[in-house]
Amino acid sequence: MITKDMTIADIVAVNRNIIVILLNAGMHCVGCPSAQGETLEEACMVHGLDVEPILNQINAYLGC
């Protein structure tokens, strides 16, 4: 299960297909250096997004 406290890099390491979900949400920073240490919650905040719908979509994709 993915949590909002996980870094983007850690999330992508779980399953690289999650990149598509992040890109579709408008988070095109997947490959930027900030993604290595930025949590999903922080990245959503920077992009003006609500973390919960994205988190739910990722976990639904993973079957969690």
Residue 5 confidence (pLDDT): 97
In a domain, 3, yes or no: no
State the total domains in the chain. 1
Residue 36 confidence (pLDDT): 80
In a domain, 21, yes or no: yes
Mean pLDDT of 2-15: 95
In a domain, 44, yes or no: yes
In a domain, 1, yes or no: no
36 by Cβ neighbours in 10 Å (0-12 / 13-18 / 19+) ranks as exposed
Residue 35 confidence (pLDDT): 74
**At 8, which amino acid appears?**
I
Residue 57 confidence (pLDDT): 97
Please determine, for residue 3, whether its predicted confidence score (pLDDT) is greater than 80.
yes
In a domain, 2, yes or no: no
In a domain, 27, yes or no: yes
**At 10, which amino acid appears?**
D
The range of the structural domain enclosing residue 58 comes to 8-62
In a domain, 12, yes or no: yes
pLDDT per position as a tens digit, 17-52 = 999 999 999 988 777 787 788 999 999 999 999 999
